[in-house]
Amino acid sequence: MWSICLEMAPYLLLGFLFSGIISVFIDDSMVYKQIGQKKFSSVLKSTLMGIPLPLCSCGVIPVAATLKDYGASKGATTSFLVSTPQTGLDSIFLTYGMLGPVFAIFRPVAAFISGLFCGLIVNVVDEEEHIHHTSNNKIKKNDSSFMERITSGLKYGFLTLPEDIVVPLFQGLVIAACIGFFVPPDFIASYVSANALLEYFVMLIVSLPLYVCATASIPIALVLYSKGISAGAIFIFLMAGPATNASSIAIIGNIMGKKILYIYMVLIACSAVFFGVVFDLFFEINDNVLSQHNHQHIHDNAIYIFFTALFGVIMANAYYSKLRKNISDTEISGSYNSNHAESLDLVVKGMTCSHCKESVESSIKSIDLNAETSIDLSSGKVKIKGLNLDELAIKEKIEDRGFTVES
């Protein structure tokens, strides 16, 4: 784990920095305003805007649900769901540092092509008439000064984003370290590499239900490659793993409908296998470029050790902050003041990150701007205080964002 962290820390820190800065210029409100009608330009914008955003396969769900709520077509929403979790500036920098420039370039290119393709196909097969409308939700304008926006971006890059990925990233590091330490060289490859199609199929079956973010998938991919898995099969894992997981699949079905969900899954699977095959053909032509990627001997390099220590501090702070928020939310939920006339207690299933929490809060505020809300992310408990609360409308609005609601 220490060796992996030494390689990844500088690039991930650089990715955090650029992700924070880009969050200032490409935020949710900008995305909502640009994507609307059921046409090619909306799908193209949705795909392009999704590629640099550092959203994982769970964080992208509430944003995509809000897109649809703001009047985006199913095609534009699908293209955002496909392209966004595959990449992000943080994962692109890390891909370059650990897997080399070819992977780093090919990954966003594949995300763009697959997002565009899937969005256009969904628009073609979607038989429902799409009526573009302006949502009643008011889009916030950022009137902050330049320095305030930069500060907000740095806070997002080094505090909010690490909070969202700290758990899956740690899990990915543990999995990668265990595979690297316990699995003998070429052990995996000896069972599946004899048949390329079997190798692709196995990697696809493993990737589709697995929850792994674009960043956490990289150390696992690197270790799998070192064990003899082909570059194309690795790319299938890098593409299909972040784009889908068992929990997000159910939520996408709620947002888009069962028909679009099945089409979405088939398109993801076909796209991943297609780009995996293309990638293997590419490496055959270019004589195993990946194996020639030079990983420096950095164990005694003071700069890398410093960056790794800094990375450890940031991630430890992120986990502590995440834990503290969960405890604080639980305490607030249990001791909320009862000065208001009405109280509504709900359990919202499907929340996994800060983006999910913000999506539920904005759903409630869109129904009752003055409602006071307390959300315990770990348990899914939501306590709402307000006057003349419309329980049915609040439930419907939250469910429109892809979550399941219980009283």
pTM of the complete model: 0.74
Region 98-104: mean pLDDT is 87
| Structure confidence at residue 273 (pLDDT) | 94
State pLDDT tens for residues 322-333. 888 766 655 555
Helical packing angle, 217-226 and 89-99, nearest 10°: 20
Lowest-confidence range among 62-66, 129-133, 231-235, 353-357?
Answer: 129-133
Whether the per-residue pLDDT at 153 is higher than 70: the answer is yes
How many domains is the chain built from? 2
Q: How confident is the model at residue 229 (pLDDT cuts 50, 70, 90)?
A: confident
> Which one of 299, 314, 329 terminates a domain?
314
**Which of 280, 314, 348 marks a domain boundary?**
314
Looking at the fold, whether 294 and 352 belong to one and the same domain comes out as no
Whether pLDDT at 61 is above 80: no
Same domain flag for 47 and 183 = yes
Same domain, 285 and 346: no
| In a shared domain, residues 389 and 296 | no
126-135 mean pLDDT? 56
Whether residue 67 sits in one domain with residue 28: yes
Residue owning tokens 């196995």 = 202
List of residues 6+ apart from 131 with CB closer than 8 A: none
Containing domain of residue 262, as a range? 2-130+144-314
* Residue 321 placed within a domain: no
- Kindly list the distances between the CA atom of residue 382 and the CA atoms of 63, 248, 290, 345, 375, in Å, as whole numbers in the listed order: 19, 20, 48, 6, 5
